[in-house]
Chains A and B, each alone.
Chain A
């Protein structure tokens, strides 16, 4: 009974403003803004995930170069360093790169000469660094090996991709900035729509005021209607963006590229995207409430 009464009271309150949408094209504009916001946020989240994925893959790897022109000395030094690395607690795997494999990789540039034993090609040892602060571990490895011989260089793999990860991180921040700008633009649209709705219903509002309606009672009428409009626009925009993202994801997977498939959206990112339309409705509701209360505050 109490539930039925509340429902009837709610329906009666809803009738205080004319049925139907309040603010003309606002839901469609919100749909477009939400579509763009979700796509931008998805790009930012995907780039962030890619940066983390690449960082995780590369941060734990390093290559030791033994730059020694004398082949015999180079071989002896390689064995010594490999043994030293295996004994180190900072290292979990040591893989000396076979000379044949190096020659094969250099062949596109050096041709058949790459296999010439007289060509002084540095020896390489791939190292997997133990988990933890891997940058610090690599620094320790470098320090200990260069102490053994100055002909040794240690390159962390993360350094190779640092410019790319910096670019991706920058793009991620750009995406975050765009999302913030679109949220501000959406709030501005709602403020304009709420002002318009308030102005067009001014006679009704005056009557309600003179009968003793409080500002909050009147603001609730507008915020509820605008929240419904925003929910419609937000859901539409999100659905459109989700369809585009799903299609793009399929295309990325089809490329088979490790780099491109790293640009994926983890489930947590989808949850974050799902929060956008919810946040949009909340933002629209608060913006509408603030606008109407402010407008009402100017009247007696």
Chain B
């Protein structure tokens, strides 16, 4: 499998504070399934932000799809971002848009003809069990429903990498299971999955998944050889 994400000695510092991430180096292969774990404040969300291009590192090199994205001109970033689906920890649904329009966003931004938008969006709404809430605004949806909309929005454009930050944090066990089934299905179709989570049973459900563990901003296994499958005692 080709390497599609490569971090080399990446450091991230917010303002004058000490580094949130230090000397982070790893590679992700196309079609892999990766979990990112670690204690709260370990830097998981910061690492994901670097991965989905919401942030540039303070130092080091990040290569996505073979290109150095640290020095990439701004105008080329949208093309890379369209290849990455993101499930945000706080969902980040657009509050004045319906569930349908939120899910359709990536397709519309990519310039898909309006006539072609309805079928995949309706299918996705059905899949996350929100077909009857298609026109509901996020404020009228429960936390779990909002998270399902966020997940549907992240995967609808069939991204090459799916990044999910605590995707099962607000859903019940049944929905969590369905989400992981979807992620595995997408993974089988070739999408590289990166999931940040505290949910240890979730990690053990996915056969063949690899794990990265962050501890105080550093990868707990600095050799770069990602361990697999995770053992419960490894996850602090």
- Given known contacts A13-B108, A300-B55, A300-B77, is B86 in contact with A210 (CB within 8 Å)? yes
Other-chain residue from A15, A207, A213 in contact with B78 (beta carbon distance below 8 A): A213
Task: Give the number of residue pairs across the A-B interface with Cβ within 8 Å.
Answer: 72
**Which residue on chain A has the smallest CB distance to residue B81?**
A212
**Which residue on chain A has the smallest CB distance to residue B101?**
A15
Q: Which of B109, B113, B153 has the most CB of A within 10 A?
A: B109
Chain B hits for A211, CB < 8 A = 81-82, 86, 105-106, 109, 153
Chain A hits for B77, CB < 8 A = 300
Chain B hits for A300, CB < 8 A = 53-56, 74, 77
**Which residue on chain B has the smallest CB distance to residue A12?**
B108
Q: Contact at B115–A5, with CB atoms within 8 Å?
A: yes
Q: Is B3 an interface residue (CB 8 A)?
A: no
Contacts of A5-25 to chain B: CB distance below 8 A: 5-6, 8-9, 12-13, 15-19
Q: Contact at B114–A297, with CB atoms within 8 Å?
A: no
**How many Å from the CB of B154 to the closest CB on chain A?**
9
Cα distance A1–B74 in the bound complex, in angstroms? 36
Q: Contact at B78–A297, with CB atoms within 8 Å?
A: no
Contact flags (1/0) for B87-118 with A, using CB distance below 8 Å? 00000101111000100111011100111010
Q: Contact at B114–A208, with CB atoms within 8 Å?
A: no
Q: Is B52 an interface residue (CB 8 A)?
A: yes
**Which residue on chain A has the smallest CB distance to residue B54?**
A210
Q: Contact at B53–A16, with CB atoms within 8 Å?
A: no
Chain B hits for A8, CB < 8 A = 114-115
Cα distance A17–B101 in the bound complex, in angstroms? 12
Secondary structure of the A contact surface, majority rule: helix
- Given known contacts A9-B108, A203-B92, is B78 in contact with A212 (CB within 8 Å)? yes
Q: Contact at A210–B56, with CB atoms within 8 Å?
A: no
**How many Å from the CB of B165 to the closest CB on chain A?**
12
**Which residue on chain A has the smallest CB distance to residue B80?**
A212
Q: Is B79 an interface residue (CB 8 A)?
A: yes
Other-chain residue from B53, B56, B114 in contact with A12 (beta carbon distance below 8 A): B114
**How many Å from the CB of A2 to the closest CB on chain B?**
9
**How many Å from the CB of B108 to the closest CB on chain A?**
6
**How many Å from the CB of A216 to the closest CB on chain B?**
9
Cα distance A297–B105 in the bound complex, in angstroms? 22
- Given known contacts A9-B108, A15-B97, is B78 in contact with A214 (CB within 8 Å)? yes
Cα distance A147–B153 in the bound complex, in angstroms? 96
Q: Contact at A9–B114, with CB atoms within 8 Å?
A: yes
Chain A hits for B106, CB < 8 A = 211-212
Cα distance A15–B95 in the bound complex, in angstroms? 11
Chain A hits for B94, CB < 8 A = 16, 204, 207
Q: Is A217 an interface residue (CB 8 A)?
A: yes
Q: Contact at B81–A209, with CB atoms within 8 Å?
A: yes
Contact flags (1/0) for B63-76 with A, using CB distance below 8 Å? 00000000000110
Cα distance A15–B109 in the bound complex, in angstroms? 13
Cα distance A297–B104 in the bound complex, in angstroms? 26
Cα distance A211–B154 in the bound complex, in angstroms? 9
Chain B hits for A6, CB < 8 A = 114
**Which residue on chain A has the smallest CB distance to residue B116?**
A5
**How many Å from the CB of B54 to the closest CB on chain A?**
6
Other-chain residue from B55, B82, B96, B101 in contact with A212 (beta carbon distance below 8 A): B82
Which 7 pairs across A and B sit closest by C-beta, in order of nearness?
A212-B82, A8-B114, A212-B81, A9-B114, A212-B78, A18-B96, A214-B78
Q: List 24 A-B contacts (CB under 8 A).
A: A5-B113, A6-B114, A9-B108, A9-B113, A12-B101, A12-B114, A12-B117, A15-B96, A16-B97, A16-B105, A18-B96, A209-B78, A209-B81, A210-B86, A210-B92, A211-B82, A211-B105, A211-B106, A211-B153, A212-B82, A214-B75, A215-B74, A217-B109, A297-B74
Binding site for A on B (CB under 8 A): 52-56, 74-75, 77-79, 81-82, 86, 92, 94-97, 101, 104-106, 108-110, 113-115, 117, 153
Given contacts A17-B96, A210-B53, A300-B74, 6 further A-B contacts (CB under 8 A): A8-B115, A211-B86, A211-B106, A212-B109, A213-B109, A300-B56
